[in-house]
Amino acid sequence: MRSESTSYRGLLAIENIPLVLIAACMSRLGGRMFSLLIILHALSRFGSPEFAGWLSFAGMVPGLIVSPVLGALLDRVGAQRAIVMDLIVSSVLVATLVIVDVLGLASQSTLLLIGSIYSLTNPLGAAGIRTLLPRLVSAADLDRINAVDTAIYAVVDVLGPALAGALFSFLGGTATFAVVAVAYGIAVSCVIPIQLAGDHSNCTGSIWRQAMDG
């Protein structure tokens, strides 16, 4: 095991690291854009601040409630599968929102349902990236890869809402949702090719018990 850490540029030469970093950037960008975009879209379409508040609630709270169970599921299925699961669900939901909006079928109940389901899988992707990165680098490189991951998160945290607001102003809600769906599509296409051996535990028994123990 190497005792010296790799340079930041050298990290990009490590197998699978560029794919994971692109996936992290695209998935987080999509998530930050979606969280603001869904509120702007609701206000524009229905003109109800109260509904926008409930929609924000639906987009956050369900995921927080089930996060202990999702943590146990992440341990069982592995980080890569969990990330792919979250990204596919997110991209399909956003694409569905685009379709129903184009067809004129979007309603308050439809948006609440999409926002709630979207929230349910989000913890898988968020925790999965942080779990996957340490498996791809040596112990000597952990500090630097975590620093890169944190930097990506910080940049996207600022860029995502700004980009969502700008695109919403110029393109409208439907087209901007399509951009979010593409971002998720790019992310999942980066994660799927990664090959990891034993990327899950051999836990048996009740997943509910495992969640409570965690």
What pLDDT is recorded for position 2?
47
What's the predicted TM-score (pTM) here?
A: 0.83
Residue 204 DSSP symbol: -
Q: CATH code at 59?
A: 1.20.1250.20
Mean of all residue pLDDT scores within the chain: 82
Question: What are the phi and psi torsion angles at 206 (to 5°)?
Answer: -70, 130
54, 91, 135, 148 from 186: Cα distances, Å: 30, 10, 22, 20
Helices (H), 103-206: 108-132, 142-171, 173-191
Q: What's the pLDDT at 199?
A: 53
Is residue 131 situated within a structural domain?
A: yes
Secondary structure (3-state) at 138: coil
pLDDT value of residue 130: 78
Angle, helices 108-132 vs 79-102, to 10°: value is: 160
With respect to residue 9, please indicate whether it lies within any of the assigned structural domains. no
- For residue 92, what are its two tokens? 């399909």
Domain with 155 in it: 14-213
Which tokens go with 86? Answer: 């979250």
> Does residue 3 fall inside a structural domain?
no
The DSSP annotation for 50-118 comes to: HHHHHHHHHTTHHHHHHHHHHHHHHHHH-HHHHHHHHHHHHHHHHHHHHHHHHTT---HHHHHHHHHHH
Q: Which residues of the chain have pLDDT under 70?
A: 1-5, 68-73, 75-77, 196-214
Residue 116 lies in a domain: yes
Rounded to whole angstroms, the Cα distance separating 129 from 91 reads: 17
Quote the pLDDT of residue 1: 41
Q: What backbone torsions phi and psi does residue 45 show, to the nearest 5 degrees? A: -80, -40
Distance CA 70, CA 63 (A): 9
- Is 8 within the bounds of a domain? no
How many domains are contained in the chain?
A: 1
User: Does 206 fall in a domain?
Assistant: yes
Per-residue burial over 139-154, b if 16 or more Cβ lie within 10 Å, else e, is eebeebbeebbeebbe
Length of the chain: 214
Residue 104 domain flag? yes
Asked, for residue 4, whether it belongs to a domain, the answer is: no
What's the confidence (pLDDT) of residue 212? 52
